[in-house]
Structure 1
Amino acid sequence: MFPFTAVLGQDELKNCLMLCAVDPEISGVLALGDRGTAKTTTIRALGHLLSAHGVEMPVAELPLGAAEDRVVGSLDVDRALRGEMVFSPGILAQAHGGILYIDEVNLLDDFLVDLLLDVSASGVNRVERDGLSHVHPARFVLVGSGNPEEGELRPQLQDRFGLATEVRTIRDLRLRREIVQRRLEHDADPARFAALHQDREARLAERILRARERLRHVEVPERVLDRVVDVCVESGAVGHRADLVLARTARALAAMAGRDAATETDVAQAAAPALQHRTPARPGESATVQAARVKLTAARVLGLRAA
């Protein structure tokens, strides 16, 4: 498994994933952009990092074209032949307590989109088929990736992702060369490459673990909550989920920083990933420009200098 800390050039995606690891109630990450930019590698690497350090966060992948039985679960055929009515878990059960990862999420079949909307809203999966009735919890961090040029994502599903980030091909020549070098070194000797990054992996895992513990004690002061609402209103964010996600993300940032209260700076840092996919795009506006506009709006509302 390629180490999470060895992934270069995708800091925004990595930060969003780590924040969801600190507070799974942020609800997930939408990463849209160029193909071949290590989106899948990064997501799998985080799950491996956490699991290797005591946080059970499995990564269950939902492939395009998956049959409904495989997703929701079904009757165990072998045991049914012996007269037993036993539920055979599907992908949603495997994802419980972890990450449900969907590559090319914008190409997902409509019936699976409807299913995900229902399960993500309720936190449970209900199966009624073949004479079998079964209900099980299905709470997970929803992570989707894809290339927006290949299809649009339904707005209802897009809103279910707590955070969003654009992933683009790296243009910096030195960084791009280092990305290739690291991949070659990993493929040549995965064990040696993992050992080289073992200490960094352990330090990051410890930081995330401490933040998860601290999170329950982190406050969002009233003045900061007021600024959260101000930023959402001034940005034109659609729906009230925006306010909640922005507040949760600011709190997770404070926990990662080892603080007991979120600040206006945390709100400013959280604004773009929490709101950019919830604000109407202007004609001809790219995702990059849209995110920059949200950052500027947040900085203005908060009285801070734009990053």
Structure 2
Amino acid sequence: MASVTLKHVWKIYEGRVIAVKDLNIQCKQGEFFALLGPSGCGKSSTLRMIAGLEEITKGEIWFDDTLVNPLRPSQRNVAMVFETYALYPYLSVYENIAFPLRLRGLSKDEIDRRVRWAADFLGITDILHVGVKGLSSGQMQSVGIGRAIVREPSVLLMDEPISHLEARQRARMREELVKLHNRLETTTIYVTHDQVEAMTMADRIAVMNLGELQQVGTPKEVYEQPRTEFVGGFIGEPPMNFADGDLQQEDGQFYVVSPSFKVALGPVLAERLRSYRGPSRVRLGIRPENIGVSLTPGEGLVEAT
């Protein structure tokens, strides 16, 4: 396995469309790292640059201490799993999994050993000699994953691999992919637009929007301490609520005040704000689950119907 580091990486299409803007991230060795964001945010372009399928406009990509910019995809020892299975429909499960190993020129015995190991690992030994055309979507995705892991890659790249599955299958595959990662301990970079996938599967998440990195952190960090309004609104279901107000301080207590409410801020926020020197006009973000109900008025409570 290898760490993956992106330093000031840009991707500009046709000289004018900026898909990725000055991206700086590091995926640690053995980490399950999610690239999360809406459609068009640059996450798939980032993954393809890591794989070597897209040329880097500017910047550097490193695997451990090796600069991989000049290396072809076949020289990077990466494997990819796509949303579309990219299987050969007229080959059996065995032949599909074995295909990349034959291209490498491995011996027949070594190919057989790796294919049967992957099939046993994924629980698909009973369908090894079945054609893929009649398989379920979940089985075909398992074959696609098997074809990736038999290569014993330094980095495993996954581009929305389960987004097309129905809800029950997605939930099962989320669990299976986490188990797979925990057993293989392969550095994994996982692209998704689904916050549930990122929050439940990843060790850390890089949130992207419009080609720019918004925040990198653990699921707990990006949920509880969003660095931008976009992260606060994108992460969470139902989403965070926002309200504009003025930041005021009275007798050491901080408040956000507007014509319709006056909200006292808790001690953790108050401590952070003691060194705040920005504008007094602020935007308050509140998670729905942090709102309580009281039947009697009191300090810091907002009357509502």
TM-score by shorter chain over 0.5: no
TM-score (norm: length of structure 2): 0.23
TM-score (norm: length of structure 1): 0.23
More strand by share: 2
Q: Which has the larger radius of gyration?
A: 2
